[in-house]
Structure 1
Amino acid sequence: EESAAIVVPAAAAPQMQAEQQLDRFKRATRKHVQDFREGIYELLGWKVEMKGEGGSLRWHLSSRYTSDAGSELVFQLRPAESGRPPAFDLLRTPWAEQLQDDRQAAAFLEAYSSTPGFLAAITSGLVAQRSGLA
């Protein structure tokens, strides 16, 4: 039995090679991004997703320590302006509304403009609740 060989015109070979390289790059990038996301989730306890484009880009965070599927915090980056560095604004979500009652966590955003402090306070509270310490 003879196997039919596919004849590729010489002019198409570089394009096919470039497409194969691009495909390998895309697969490697997808794997790298997935590994990065898993590392962030395991290290910091937050699943982070970026949604949207340009000025409407939003960062969606969900904690590994909450059992509510709809518990999500959404942030939008406010660009730097007149000597102030860029900062994240917490947008309204049901969970964000609920967290307004947590004065300690809210203080990190309102008094200190610290998103990391806010997320750490939430994480501490959730871990304490899960452990029965709260």
Structure 2
Amino acid sequence: MIRTNEPGWREQLRSVIGPHGVDVAFDCVGGGVGEEVFTLTAGGGVFVHYGLLSGTPLSAECLTGRRDVRVELFRLRDIVQKDGGQHLSGLFAPVFESLRRGRLRTAVGQRIRLSELPGHLKGPAAGPAGKILIDPQR
């Protein structure tokens, strides 16, 4: 595993993938990390951008600067806005089924009551590693 928060990750990744790059690259981070991943996409390859975890968008130059790489954007908000949310339950059905069967998991760092959510969002961002689970039963 290569962690992008550790020094030398770019060089380590480049040594693993080789000089020609990858045929398909997936980016859910955006910002500088996403742009770095984009540069590792081989000519004739596909760059799939599906998230913005860094909070920083990819530069326009990144998305238009190389004509030899196809850029595919997948953003849920675009899909929801396009059809007014009419098909949202159908889109999520396979995801919920996978959750019920235990195929999808995520680390829960903290459980909070729904009534605690406003105060929690006003507090410091740092907390235990993992997702925040809003538990209406608690």
TM-score normalised to structure 1 length: 0.21
- Larger RCO (CA within 8 A; separation ≥ 6): 2
TM-score normalised to structure 2 length: 0.21
